[in-house]
Every structure is written in C-alpha cells, then in structure tokens.
Structure 1
Amino acid sequence: MEHKLQKTYDLSAGRQVARNTVLRNTYWLLALSMIPTVLGAAIGVSFGVPMPRGFMGALLFLGVAFGFIWAIEKNKNSGVGVALLLGFTFFMGLMLTPLLQRTLGYSNGGTLIMLAFGGTAAVFGVLASIATVSKRDFSAVGKWAMAGLVVIILASLANIFFQIPALTLTISVLAIGIFSAFLLYDVQRIANGGETNYISATLAVYLDVYNIFTSLLQLLGFSSGSRE
C-alpha cells in the first residue's frame, strides 16, 4: 500500500514539474517574442513600410497570419517552430505600423503607447496569476470567447466598408474582454497540463496579449488622443 501511495505521489509530482516547465518556457519564449515584435514595429514606423488596406488588405493579412499559425503548429516539436514563431511576431510587429503611425500623430502619442503597454502588462499579470492559482475551471470561458471572436472578425470586416467610429470603439471594447477571457483560458490550460507544448502555448498567449494591446491603444487614442 505504501509503495502504491509513493508511486502515485511520484507521478503527481512529475506531472506538476512538467506543467511548471511548460509554463516557465512559455513565459520565456513570450518575452523573447516581444523583441521581433518591437523590431518589426520600429522598422514599419521608421521607414513608413506600406501596409495593405481595405477588405483585400484584411484578407491578405488573415491569409498570411493563418499561414504562419498553421506552419508553427506543424513544426511545434522542433526548433523550426520557434523560428517560425519569431518570424510571425516580426510580421505582427510590422502590422502595427498604421496604428502606431496614427497614435504618434497625436501630441501625446508616445504617452498613449506607454499607457497601453503598461495596461496590457497589468492585465496579463493579474489574469495570469488568477488562472494559475484559482481552483475555478475556466474551460467554459474559452467556448464563449471563441464565439465572441467570430463576431469580432465579422464586425471588423464589415466596418472596413462602413467606417463607423462607434462600431470601431465597440469592437475594441469587446476585443479587450474577449482576449482577456482567452488569456485566462489559455494560461489555465498550460497550468493544468491541458497544453503540453510550449511553442503552441506561447503562440496562444502572444495572440491574446497582442490583441489586448492593440485594442487598448485604439481606445486610448479615441478617448485621450490630443492634436494640440
């Protein structure tokens, strides 16, 4: 009996160590992925890299993004997956160019960017902590967030034609809530052993953080941007 208990304890401890390792590697790779993101954004803004706009531009972006995501998942068990992930984050940094240029057009643009960065970091810190230590199951949150994501994508594509400021604001508010829910879900999956590959885990958390940042920056620009 004692031998069985010891074996059960060893297995449980081993699983916990494995989960902690995946979570730690995810956070390290997430931090590393911010370097090509910042580099891509800096190149885009500094050199005025033209970004495709309109409906076709959105479709092109989605095509490239999902192509990267497919390739990352296909190679998630090798170093190629890490290289593809870093290439993807560089691409996502480049795609920040129009938003950053618009924000830097405000006299307080630099401050707004720092506020968005700080707010995103705060949201990540709080929600990641809750997801890691809470005994509550957030699996249902993931299903709700996925439905919300479909609504946001459709609304965003529609707003390319309508260009309604109120709809843009609404989409940004909803996106913050939905990707915050995804962040809770994704981090808890890692902490509970539902996701065992740190490359896939990093990709999911990166997309959550990226979308929270962009949505928050859009809101700040809309509410606090100054032309003076």
Structure 2
Amino acid sequence: MHQQPIRTAPMSSALSTNQVLRNTYLLLSITLLFSAAVSAVTIMLNLPSPGLLITLVGMYGLMFLTVRNQNRSAGLLCIFAFTGFMGYVLGPILNMYFQNGGTEMVMLALGGTAMTFLALSAYVLMTGKDMSFMGGMLVTGFWILVVAMIASFFIHLPAFQMMLSALFILFSSGIILYKTSEIIHGGERSYISATLTLYVSLYNIFLSLLSIISGSSRN
C-alpha cells in the first residue's frame, strides 16, 4: 500500500517560529524589568545624566555589539548591557518628572505604551497578516525622522516638538507591527535581534508619549 510522505519541514518551521516568538517575549519581559530596576536604582541614588555624547556612544555601541552577537550566547550579555544602560539614561529623566509632580504623567505614558504594544502585537498575532509591505514606508519614515530630528535643533517651537514625538510613535508602532509579522512568518530567526528592535520601539513610544502628555499639560 502506498504511503503518503510525512511532511516534517512545515511543522519544523512552525515550531522554530513559535520558539523565536516565545523566546522574544520572554527576553523582552526580562530586559524591560531589568531596565526598570536600573532606572529605579538611578532614581534612588539621584545619579546624574550621562550626557548626550556618552548616551549616543553607549547606545549605538551596545546596539552594534548586540546585533553583531545576535546568534551567540554573548548576545545575551550585550542586550542586558544595552537595556541596563538605557535604564540608567532614563532614570534622571524620570527623576525630573517625579521631583516636579509629574508622577501621574509617567504612569499615563507607561500605561499608554503597554496598551499600544499589546494592541499592535495582538492584531498581528490574531490576524496573521503579513506586514512586509511596510518595509519601504518604514525606510521612508526613518529618513523623515532623521531630517525632523536635525531640524529640532533649530526649531524650538512646542508644536514642532509634539509633532516629532507623534512621528516617533507612528514609526515605532509600525516597527512593532513589521517585526512581529517577521517573527510569525519566519523572517526573523534571532530572538535577541527581535527583542532589541521591540525594546527600542517601546522605549521611543514611552518617551514620546511622556513628551506629548507633559507638553499638553503645560499648554
């Protein structure tokens, strides 16, 4: 009797994709908690901001190391170093809000960030929609943001700063949709790289929401 061949490749691919998704969400949760813990220590010790130059060098340097080692165990050390450093950078910013009665603003921004991430992730996971078509738009959005950030050094209008924050939220939301879609469709094989991308997106959304909320409050 003729037997149908057992199709193991699709099943193996699905298992691999699910594993990347699980590992990404697990690592993202742990790194967010670690980053929050570092921020809390920074706030309690009232540590100063590292400054723009150290922030940029540390941020992009550790991002580069993480991507370079995304398929090695050293990548885990790199991403914890990166998220810990970003937690330290965030600490003095949050401390400024707390000292000026902005605790409610921080909580609103935190809640808004969580809701945004859950809604975007749930949409992709429940619909299984392929978001690869967003690639070109995200590249265009990136360069628009670069130009807008350069312009922000010369344009100090509150309305322009709020517009820039809104652009960051839209861009980061698009990245979350795109990266989640990549994971579930097998385009992203490294959970370390995926975690890095999602963490940076959440970080940007949180700071941008905080900026918009505080700007609206002042107005």
Same fold (TM over 0.5): yes
Q: In structure 2, what is the equivalent of residue 47 of structure 1?
A: 45
Which of 104, 114, 130 aligns to 1:121? It is 114
Q: Extract structure 1 runs of 4+ deviating beyond 3 A.
A: none
Task: Give unpaired runs (5+ residues) of structure 2.
Answer: none
Q: In structure 2, what is the equivalent of residue 86 of structure 1?
A: 80
Structure 1 pair 43–151 and aligned structure 2 pair: CA distance change class (3 A): farther
Q: Contact 1:19 / 1:192 at 8 angstroms: preserved in 2?
A: yes
Deviation at 1:149, TM superposition (A): 2.3
Return the alpha-carbon distance in structure 1 between the equivalents of residues 157 and 45 of structure 2: 29
Return the alpha-carbon distance in structure 2 between the equivalents of residues 155 and 100 of structure 1: 24
Q: Contact 2:128 / 2:184 at 8 angstroms: preserved in 1?
A: no
Q: Contact 1:103 / 1:225 at 8 angstroms: preserved in 2?
A: no
Deviation at 1:60, TM superposition (A): 4.2
Q: Does 1:38 align with 2:31?
A: no
Q: In structure 2, what is the equivalent of residue 96 of structure 1?
A: 90
Return the alpha-carbon distance in structure 2 between the equivalents of residues 171 and 222 of structure 1: 12
Return the alpha-carbon distance in structure 2 between the equivalents of residues 153 and 113 of structure 1: 26
Q: Contact 1:22 / 1:190 at 8 angstroms: preserved in 2?
A: yes
The count of aligned residue pairs is 218
Percent identity among equivalent residues? 33
Return the alpha-carbon distance in structure 2 between the equivalents of residues 39 and 100 of structure 1: 13
Return the letter of the residue paired with 1:200: S
Return the alpha-carbon distance in structure 2 between the equivalents of residues 106 and 149 of structure 1: 33
Which of 130, 139, 146 aligns to 2:132? It is 139
Q: Contact 1:145 / 1:179 at 8 angstroms: preserved in 2?
A: no
Question: C-alpha root-mean-square deviation of aligned residues, in Å?
Answer: 2.1
Deviation at 1:13, TM superposition (A): 1.4
| Matched residue SS, 2:130 | coil
Q: In structure 1, what is the equivalent of residue 123 of structure 2?
A: 130
Per-residue displacement from partner, 1:163-216 (whole Å, max 9, x unpaired)? 322211111111111100110000110111100111111111111111111111
Q: In structure 1, what is the equivalent of residue 198 of structure 2?
A: 205
Task: Give unpaired runs (5+ residues) of structure 1.
Answer: none
Q: Does 1:217 align with 2:210?
A: yes
Deviation at 1:92, TM superposition (A): 0.8
Return the alpha-carbon distance in structure 1 between the equivalents of residues 14 and 3 of structure 2: 21
